[in-house]
Amino acid sequence: MILKVAWQTLLLVMIYYALLLGGVLLRFQAWPDYVEVYPWVGNIRGILAGTPSWRDALSIALDEPLLEIGRTLPDYAISEWNLTIVPDKLAIVAAIAALLAVHRHLARRSCRIDAAVLSGAGSATAALASATVGWTVCCGAPSWVVIFAMLGLWAPTAMAIEPYGGPITLAGLFLLAGGVLVQACFNRAKERS
């Protein structure tokens, strides 16, 4: 069971990032022209050596990118759009994927609709708030609100809701975990009867 859940988790993480990239490609109708794999370990060493506060160093390190795929503006040397994979968001996406894989395993024989609704709503909410897509219009910083700007929400309005990403992610994770718990309790009660 553990190996199956691990494979499903990895597959769901890859599907998540493929869907983000596909959404950006559809929106801009332009293929990426660069892929940057960052020397993350070396960058972390530099951050730890150059940052006096451990709390600041940890915060900076978690936002240090692992991979960036994007497209540059033809006339400038800046990214028009990008998809960035950063450790803290990758960990959240992996947690979402793992909980979904566990739920799928628990619900393989009989699925409770309320558990499925909780898990679905939670995973969609947390996944949306964990996106790291950047766009020049939104200052180029990878953020979950860039998706809203790409869909037509005025960029300053989208950027104004960015601080609420953490609480939205936590709420989504709690809903998802609640769905898994409801399904597990249902399975246990069914086994006892």
User: pLDDT of 60-77, one tens digit each?
Assistant: 888 889 999 999 988 888
- Residues 60-76 as b or e (16 or more Cβ within 10 Å = b): bbebbbeebbbbbeeee
User: 108-139 in b/e burial notation, b at 16+ Cβ within 10 A?
Assistant: eeebbeebeebbebbbebbbbbbbbbbbeebe
pTM passes above 0.85: yes
The tokens 């503006």 sit on which residue?
A: 73
CA separation for the pair 118, 175 (Å, rounded) = 5
Kindly report, residue by residue over 131-172, the tens digit of the pLDDT. 999 888 777 566 888 888 888 888 788 788 888 888 999 999
Q: What is the pLDDT of residues 104-126, one digit of tens each?
A: 999 887 888 888 999 999 999 99
Local confidence band at 21 (pLDDT 50, 70, 90 cut-offs): very high
Identify the band that residue 25 occupies on the pLDDT scale cut at 50, 70 and 90. Answer: very high
pLDDT of residue 161: 84
